[in-house]
A and B are shown apart, each in its own frame.
Chain A
Amino acid sequence: MEDFEQQLRNALGRKQQPPTFEAKVFAAVAAQRSSRSVFWRWATEVAAVVVIASGFWMGYQHEIQQRAGEAAKARLEIALKITVTELSKIQKTVRTSTEEE
């Protein structure tokens, strides 16, 4: 049995890899590294565009809200002025009628 096992060891001894093997592996590693760096450059550019666009969008939204708030404030001021004017008219009317009595 030992003889047979030794024959198997002889038969299944290590083989020599092709002479270009090492160079091919290094080339594949370099290609993988450069494709990764291209991906990361692309991803960074996309992320920058997204950040800038969202900044513009938030600024635009803020301005719309600010304008809407100012318009509402102006309407409220007009409404208050009208109310004050109407109230003083009523007050005058009441005072006049009380004096006549």
Chain B
Amino acid sequence: MTFAEVLRANQSMVFSLAFHFLRDAGAAEEVAQDVFLRLYQKLDELDGPKHATFWLRKATSRRAIDYVRKRGSRPAIALEDIAEPPTAEQPGDPLLNRRLRQLVATLPEKPRMVMVLRYQEDLMPEEISDVLDMPVRTVKSHLQRSLAMLREKIDRSMGDIR
């Protein structure tokens, strides 16, 4: 397992995790670069590609949360003005997708990261609990509450559009 192989296999995952959490492509790139630099130093300690991916998810989550805390609670750019990086293919309604991303970005840090890991990476609550060092019960409760809140907000905002 070389550094280049791990980088190529995981760069989209790391960048997307940081982008969906931070909603700032520049900041996401900075965080992702920093995470890969740390990976380069740690590569000998990692036990195969799966372990590397797990480590990258964990490191990106921590680094992105730290980034927000250092930057302060204010978003760098208004959520509506954010330039979206390209996606290979984007199923579903683009307007709805954009609105959902904006709403996810308004969640508090921990529930937001839980949502991104669940719906970007398709991780189960047990896996999210390992990545974020958080009890499974807490992960499930963040998911339930966030889903209910997002559903209510999206119903309201899409109702306004209709």
Binding site for B on A (CB under 8 A): 1, 4-18, 21-22, 24-26, 28-29, 32
Q: How far is the CA of A10 from the CA of B15 in the complex (A)?
A: 17
Q: How far is the CA of A17 from the CA of B85 in the complex (A)?
A: 7
Give chain A's interface secondary structure class.
helix
Q: Which 9 pairs of residues, A with B, have the shortest CB-CB distance?
A: A10-B92, A11-B100, A17-B15, A11-B97, A8-B119, A12-B119, A14-B16, A15-B85, A12-B120
Contacts of B136 in A (CB 8 A): none
Contacts of A28 in B (CB 8 A): 33, 36-37
Q: How far is the CA of A16 from the CA of B104 in the complex (A)?
A: 19
The verdict on B40 contacting chain A, using a C-beta distance below 8 Å, is yes
The verdict on B122 contacting chain A, using a C-beta distance below 8 Å, is yes
The verdict on B73 contacting chain A, using a C-beta distance below 8 Å, is no
Contact A12 B104 (CB under 8 A): yes
